[in-house]
């Protein structure tokens, strides 16, 4: 399967000429980019592209194949003025300042941005407010400030793609606004519903990806193959970690998959109920020794209703937590994280429904001469201000261990705190709520099948039912373009 998405780049310049003594604005100019081919060659390799602002005195028609200004005067290391990390549009503004005694007598007509050398990644001619070409003649009483802003728009027009919308943590936005880029991983989830962050609903598997840059076509592809012994889950959603995800159950392209002759048991002449082994199935036909069975009842096959364990966001009233993005990430949706890196998270709950609910924590410490423990603390509150600790657990072993706590009081707020030995040990694997309504999807026969009878099921699923009988090739493509 291939997931495609786009990121659009635009570069604008704003130039101010002020009197060195009075600071009065004398001239204001602007310039709009063309993105040069050289820029894309750096983007697809996730290399730096915006360190300097370059200015020159030349004229002409900018072309994408150029790597320099028409007639360069100089470059200056740019200083960051503002970084906006948001969705779908982010921006990065940097500036340089030409002091009164610098470049006197020069005529500035063109600008661009570059990384560490004089080769430019964008190129634009300076114009006035009416769109006419503008020449700025530098004198010894002028201070010129050149602002360059790079706008980044993640294309959210594809209904099959959700971008990770925690802008400060989306790794593509972070790279395009100045941070280093680290390769994402493939993440597989088994819920597929849209979340407020655009992240997967429930992590079940992840693995490394291989990246391939295509400079000519301005794109980069991350890919992997899940072999027969890898990723054998019911795959509802796939994601580039902290970047974007695709839900199969809501996809306009993925078609539901028909499974046939799935063995669900052998008759013994007495048993009437058999486990169907999968959730969220439809168009179900049950067969006994190859013949379609009548007089049966299907139980608990409704979509998503009978999971044994729920990520925290599925177990609470989201209308009470409209801006609480923490509950959609890290251990709250099954993604392991080092305890020391986790923020304190407060959740608003319905006190009439919280009593009797059981929380499950999966913790993993580490033992190196001494135990490096992972800790979790749960606090309760009725006003969101004053909290009392109601539970704690810790683990110092080598393997993940499970701990549970049943809530006994009708609190209105729960607070989760975590701590560990340091930022590279002591893992919190998950924080989930057990589903007291959990029931297994089954088929019930009015009359028990005969002893030795083979019972099979044909049904359709809206996800990829990955098993050891298949390999699965997965790729994500990011297409860069000019916005």
pLDDT beyond 90 at 122: yes
d(CA 87, CA 39): 22
Confidence of residue 304 (pLDDT cuts 50, 70, 90): low
List, for residues 439-468, the tens digit of each pLDDT value. 889 999 999 999 999 999 999 999 999 999
Confidence of residue 271 (pLDDT cuts 50, 70, 90): very high
Report the pLDDT averaged over residues 159-163. 87
Q: Tens of pLDDT along 183-222? A: 999 999 998 888 888 889 999 999 999 999 999 999 999 9
Q: Sorting pLDDT into bands at 50, 70 and 90, what band is 158? A: confident
User: Higher-confidence residue: 424 or 190?
Assistant: 190
pLDDT at residue 59 above 90?
yes
pLDDT of residue 436: 87
Q: Rounded to whole angstroms, what are the CA distances from 204 to 208, 326, 332, 418?
A: 14, 18, 13, 22
What's the whole-number mean pLDDT along residues 58-81? 97
Q: What is the pLDDT of residues 241-259, one digit of tens each?
A: 999 999 998 788 888 999 9
Coil, strand or helix at 407? coil
**Pair of tokens at residue 190:** 């088994």
Indicate whether 167 pLDDT > 90.
no
- At 292 the pLDDT is 97
Helix, coil or strand: residue 333: helix
Instruction: Quote the pLDDT of residue 369.
Output: 65
Residue 319 has pLDDT above 90, yes or no: yes
User: What average pLDDT does range 118-137 have in this prediction?
Assistant: 97
pLDDT of residue 156: 81
428 pLDDT exceeds 80? yes
Q: Looking at residues 96-119, what average pLDDT do you find?
A: 96
- Residue 169: per-residue pLDDT: 82
pLDDT of residue 467: 93
Strand 110-114 and strand 122-125: pairing? antiparallel
* CB 381, CB 327: distance < 8 Å: no
Q: What is the mean pLDDT of residues 321-327?
A: 89
Architecture, CATH, for domain 309-434: Sandwich (2.60)
The mean pLDDT value of the chain amounts to 94
- How many CA atoms lie within 13 Å of 209's alpha carbon, on the beta-carbon side? 23
Look at residue 168 in the predicted model and tell me its pLDDT: 65
Segments making up each domain of the chain, as ranges: 2-154, 161-254+469-482, 257-302+442-461, 309-434
- According to the model, what pLDDT value does residue 397 have? 80
The Cα–Cα gap between 396 and 371 comes to 5
- Mean of the pLDDT values across residues 116-144? 96
Q: H/E element holding 113?
A: strand 110-114
């Amino acid at each position: 399967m291939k997931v495609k998405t786009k990121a659009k780049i635009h570069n604008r310049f704003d130039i101010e000429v002020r009197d060195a003594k009075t600071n009065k604005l004398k001239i204001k100019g602007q310039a709009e980019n063309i993105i040069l081919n050289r820029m894309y060659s750096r983007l697809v390799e996730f290399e730096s592209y915006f360190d300097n602002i370059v200015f020159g005195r030349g004229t002409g028609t900018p072309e994408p194949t150029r790597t320099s200004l028409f007639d360069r005067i100089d470059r200056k290391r740019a200083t960051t003025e503002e970084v906006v990390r948001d969705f779908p549009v982010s921006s990065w503004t940097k500036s340089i300042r030409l002091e009164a005694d610098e470049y006197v007598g020069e005529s500035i007509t063109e600008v661009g941005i570059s990384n560490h050398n004089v080769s430019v990644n964008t190129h634009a001619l300076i114009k006035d407010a009416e769109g006419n070409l503008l020449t700025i003649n530098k004198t010894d009483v002028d201070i010129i400030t050149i602002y360059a802003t790079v706008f980044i728009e993640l294309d959210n027009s594809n209904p099959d793609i959700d971008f990770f919308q925690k802008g400060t943590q989306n790794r593509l936005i972070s790279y395009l606004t100045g941070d280093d880029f680290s390769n994402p991983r493939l993440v597989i989830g088994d819920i597929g519903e849209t979340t407020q962050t655009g992240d997967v609903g429930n992590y079940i598997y992840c693995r490394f990806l291989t990246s391939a840059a295509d400079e000519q076509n301005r794109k980069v592809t991350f890919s992997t193959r899940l072999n027969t012994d890898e990723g054998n889950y019911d795959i509802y959603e796939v994601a580039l970690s902290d970047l974007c995800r695709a839900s199969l159950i809501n996809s306009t392209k993925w078609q539901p998959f028909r499974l046939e002759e799935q063995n669900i048991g052998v008759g013994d002449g007495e048993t009437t109920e058999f486990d169907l082994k999968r959730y969220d199935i439809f168009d179900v036909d049950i067969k006994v020794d190859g013949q379609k069975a009548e007089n049966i009842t299907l139980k608990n096959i409704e979509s998503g209703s009978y999971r044994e364990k729920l990520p925290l966001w599925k177990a609470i009233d989201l209308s009470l937590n409209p801006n609480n993005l923490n509950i959609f990430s890290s251990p709250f949706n099954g993604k392991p994280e080092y305890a020391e890196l986790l923020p304190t998270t407060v959740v608003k709950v319905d006190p009439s429904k919280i009593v009797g609910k059981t929380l499950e924590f999966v913790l993993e410490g580490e033992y190196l001469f001494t135990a490096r423990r992972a800790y979790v603390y749960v606090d309760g509150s009725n006003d969101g201000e004053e909290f009392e600790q109601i539970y704690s657990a810790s683990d110092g072993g080598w393997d993940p261990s499970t701990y549970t706590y049943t809530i006994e009081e009708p609190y209105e707020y729960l607070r989760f705190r975590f701590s560990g030995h340091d930022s590279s040990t002591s893992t919190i694997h998950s924080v989930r709520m057990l589903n007291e309504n959990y029931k297994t999807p089954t088929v019930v026969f009015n009359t028990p099948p005969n002893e030795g009878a083979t019972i099979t099921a044909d049904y359709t699923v809206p996800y990829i039912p990955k098993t050891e009988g298949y390999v699965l090739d997965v790729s994500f493509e990011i297409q860069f373009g000019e916005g």
